[in-house]
């Protein structure tokens, strides 16, 4: 049996787009964890290594140690990716 879906939101204080993403996830009742990169260049370094970017928000969605990063800004990108994942798992 597969593990539940894991969602991680990389964000920072004062980021309007980050707040939109978190609100969207709450409305969809998707549990998530937050990584706050405010004043934490070492965390932005991790984003740069993983995805070649330093901006937030970034949403990582994963299950069974396989993760995908949604790096495009906007809830419609996240919604599309969640629908793809859930339809593949027949959960959405």
Average pLDDT score over residue span 74-87? 86
pTM of the complete model: 0.85
| pLDDT tens digits, one per residue of 35-66 | 999 999 999 999 999 999 999 999 999 887 78
**Distance in angstroms (rounded) separating the CA atoms of residues 6 and 72:** 19
pLDDT at 9: 97
Question: Is residue 72 helix, strand or coil?
Answer: coil
**Distance in angstroms (rounded) separating the CA atoms of residues 58 and 25:** 13
CATH number of 6-89: 3.40.30.10
Q: How confident is residue 25, by pLDDT bands cut at 50, 70 and 90?
A: very high
């Amino acid at each position: 049996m597969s593990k539940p879906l894991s969602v991680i939101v990389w964000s920072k204080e004062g980021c309007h787009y980050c707040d939109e993403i978190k609100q969207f996830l709450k409305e969809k009742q998707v549990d998530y964890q937050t990584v706050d990169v405010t004043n934490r260049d070492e965390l932005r370094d991790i984003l740069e290594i993983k995805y070649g970017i330093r901006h937030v928000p970034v949403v990582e969605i994963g299950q069974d140690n396989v993760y995908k990063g949604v790096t495009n800004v906007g809830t419609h990108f996240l919604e599309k990716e969640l629908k793809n994942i859930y339809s593949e798992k027949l959960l959405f």
